Chains A and B, each alone.
Chain A
Amino acid sequence: MDANLIDARVEEILSTHGKGANKLVPILLAAQDAFGYLPGNVIQHVGEFLAISLGQIYSVASFYKRFQLTPVGKRRVTVCRGTACHIRGAPQIVNEIEQTIGIKEGETSADLEYTLETVACIGCCALAPCLKVNEAVHGAMTPRKAGVLFTDVSGNKNA
């Protein structure tokens, strides 16, 4: 998204929410959904609009996992490392995915194709070990299946 578009979108979000410190979280949520993360200049813009300090916004944004401060890849891969998934091989799956798409846990690939993260529980232990690609859940994973999944999605290995 180019800078003007971003500005226009932020203006729109700000004007629909209006002023007041209690609007901070709703505005950040809308911005997060619009841009996939909270770019620095957007945070600045929100701060000026609400007349609160950058520190205050950053404090809120860094508290909730829902907010991201760095760009997130088009495919956000979330591997569950809850107890059930852990026991049934989540670490090996993370390992396989790291090798297949070439980024480590917590990283985003340079081409913004993938973000790889782990969470404490996705909430479907019966499907353990499981992972999500954006909102799609893939259950009963094995390292091999995970490898195939990402080879297929990107068309070629090591995308």
Chain B
Amino acid sequence: MSKVTINIDGKEVQAESGQTVLDTALANGIYIPHLCHHPELKPRGVCRLCLMEMADGELITACRMPVIAGMVVKTKTKKVDKAIRPTVELLIAYHHDTCRGCPAIGKCELQTVMSHLKIDRKRVRRLRPPPAKKPLDKMNSSFDYDPNRCVLCGVCINTCEDIHGVSLLYYVGRGHETKVAFYGDEKKCESCLECLARCPVGGLMLKKPVEVRH
């Protein structure tokens, strides 16, 4: 593997050829917002948050862009901000309005993205649809799914697919009613819990242990 040098936000960094720009940036302490990225998964490029501006002004997803020697990219330009801010704002508008009680508190990627972009909570509040909390889905005997917290990044689906060949989890429905669900396949789930471990937010959560009374 040969080394290449690229320029991210004015900083020269070294990368292995074949590495993606997103991985290179993260490894060098440059944060680029991302939700559907996971180091062990093939990049799918579905969340569109890792957009960066190329030298010619084109916006490209950093998670799917391999490094090229001498490339110059910028991740904090006006153009990038204009493209990703609305996406994040809408995600949050459709999300639980409080982090209280969320199992992902402290390791939530959405929180990181929010503070990185300094999201204006007041503005987001105006985008919020009327409060209609969707009920928690009881997925199987080991975990639950909270449609109010899921950001539909697909990481759980792709994780299950990569580990087991076919995914037991899939997107169901469309538009703002889309969610992730099993369909008659919940019994086949081996409860490896990899999907849960990789969820960037608090979409999947372990069932609370039921207290057995004697």
Contact = CB atoms under 8 A, between A and B. Distances in A.
Interface of A: 52-59, 62-64
Contacts of B174: 62-64
19 contacts: A53-B166, A53-B168, A53-B170, A53-B183, A53-B185, A54-B183, A54-B185, A55-B168, A55-B184, A55-B185, A56-B166, A56-B167, A56-B170, A57-B183, A58-B181, A58-B183, A59-B172, A62-B173, A64-B174
Nearest to A52: B166
Interface string B166-199: 1111111110000001111100000000000000
Interface size of B as a range: 10 to 19
A10 to B, nearest CB: 17
B172 A53 contact: no
| For the complex of A and B, 7 pairs with smallest distance between CB atoms | A58-B183, A55-B170, A59-B170, A55-B183, A53-B166, A54-B184, A63-B174
Given A55-B183, A58-B170, 14 more contacts: A53-B170, A53-B183, A54-B183, A55-B169, A55-B170, A55-B181, A55-B184, A55-B185, A57-B183, A58-B172, A59-B170, A59-B171, A59-B172, A62-B172
B153 to A, nearest CB: 16
B137 to A, nearest CB: 14
Contacts of A62: 172-174
Contact of A63 (B168, B173, B183, B184): B173
Q: Main secondary structure on chain A at its contact with chain B?
A: helix
Contacts of B167: 53, 55-56
Interface centre among B166, B168, B169, B170 (most CB of A within 10 A): B170
Nearest to B164: A53
Contacts of A57: 183
A62 B171 CA distance: 9
A62 B170 CA distance: 11
A69 to B, nearest CB: 10
A157 B27 CA distance: 71
A63 B171 CA distance: 9
A53 B172 CA distance: 13
A123 B150 CA distance: 35
A111 to B, nearest CB: 28
Interface string B158-170: 0000000011111
A55 B185 CA distance: 7
Contacts of A56: 166-167, 170
A55, A59, A62 — most chain B CB neighbours (10 Å) = A55
Nearest to B177: A62
A59 B181 CA distance: 9
Contacts of A59: 170-172, 183
A58 B183 CA distance: 7
Nearest to B173: A62
A64 B173 CA distance: 8
B178 to A, nearest CB: 8
Contacts of B173: 62-63
A55 B171 CA distance: 8
